[in-house]
Copies of this chain bind each other. A is one copy, B any other.
Amino acid sequence: MPGDPDESAGAPAPPLVVGLDAGGTRTRAVLAAAVDGRVLGEGAAGPGNALTVPLPQLTAHLAEALARAVPETARGRVAAVAGGFAGATGAAEDEPGHLNARAALHDALRRIGVPDCPVAVGSDIEAAFASAPGTPADGLALVAGTGAVATRIAGRRCTATVDGDGWLLGDDGSGFWIGRRAVRAALRMADGRGPATVLAEAVGRTLGLLAEVLPDGASGWSRAGREGYRMHLLPVVMAEPPIRLARLAPLVAGAAREKDAVARAILDEAADRLTDTVRALQPRTGERVVATGGLLGPEGPLTAGLTDRLRPLGLTLDWVADGCAGAVALARFACGDGG
């Protein structure tokens, strides 16, 4: 383990903090020195969404990630813990997401033998925002991964939320939204409502359709072939959880790079939707926008498009990979060593 927290045996043992980033697919824990935030350990476990993961599993995943990040001999020195949880998105602390996260985190800490200490619970978006350089307290946060949501942050707390309404009702411009558009574009090409696109072949291949029902690139099928494609595609998509459509988003990015007009239009509209989402927070010129999620990363398919659209509003994007650094910073604030 890098920088073993026991290295200073003999000297008075310095206090430690733990930051948790509990997302929809993974829970990550980071152990750090309270005094300077130096990272001393890391651990990961299963999903940590405080609204959708049942409490026993949520507690188990937190305990597992914590136990991996914090060596047994160091647990007595943990002076504060902060967690950013997906599903704990509202401003009120008595909401189900917050209550579940707090209950599960206290239980998990007790289970692995961390003594009572300050525990701060917030949303994964607050943690991501706090991960930006300088640990900012105020500005806008934008998440564009499988889902999409923007929030206004004031005093390190979300004070307003736009979208984040989930795959059925919103998350406009998200990975799910893009993936769903890809399948729609394929079906619309197949039944004649939409123009030709290489997405039909790419979507069909990714969903495991037999070669005999795939179109030949963007050039299309016979009438019978079109019908066969549709009749094979629909049951495959409907048999899996809708959110799995998000895995098709990279196909759109790939097709757009090959200058497929339909794919480009999908990405353009996704960037428009995310811009609308940010704009609804009534940003002021020069405000910080901290982005996270794969669509907006250094190689993200929407990074350039969104940057172009936010520039006229006087806004620039900072991207962070996750909320771990911010959760550590918030834990350091919680034990009084953060600022």
The chain A residues found within 8 Å of chain B, CB to CB, are: 90-91, 95, 160-163, 165-166, 168-170, 180, 183-184, 187, 191-193, 223, 227, 230-231, 234, 237-238, 242, 276-277, 280-282
Select from chain B the residue with minimum beta-carbon distance to A90: B231
Contact B192 A227 (CB under 8 A): no
Contact B193 A162 (CB under 8 A): yes
Given A180-B169, A187-B169, A193:B161 Cβ within 8 A: no
State the CA gap A237–B170 with chains docked (Å). 12
Contact pick for A165, options B168, B169, B230, B276, CB 8 Å:
B230
Select from chain B the residue with minimum beta-carbon distance to A96: B235
Contact B180 A162 (CB under 8 A): no
Contact pick for A227, options B161, B280, B282, CB 8 Å:
B161
Given contacts A165-B187, A169-B184, 17 further A-B contacts (CB under 8 A): A91-B227, A162-B191, A162-B193, A165-B234, A166-B238, A168-B180, A168-B242, A169-B187, A169-B234, A170-B184, A170-B187, A191-B280, A192-B280, A192-B281, A193-B276, A193-B277, A193-B280
Q: Which residues of B contact A234 (CB under 8 A)?
A: 165-166, 169
Jot down 25 A-B pairs with beta carbons below 8 A, ordered by A. Answer: A90-B231, A95-B231, A160-B191, A161-B191, A161-B227, A161-B230, A162-B191, A162-B192, A165-B184, A165-B187, A165-B230, A165-B234, A166-B238, A168-B238, A169-B184, A169-B187, A169-B237, A170-B184, A191-B280, A192-B280, A192-B281, A192-B282, A193-B276, A193-B277, A193-B280
Give min CB distance, A313 to chain B, whole Å.
Answer: 15
Contact A163 B280 (CB under 8 A): no
Q: Which residues of B contact A161 (CB under 8 A)?
A: 191, 227, 230
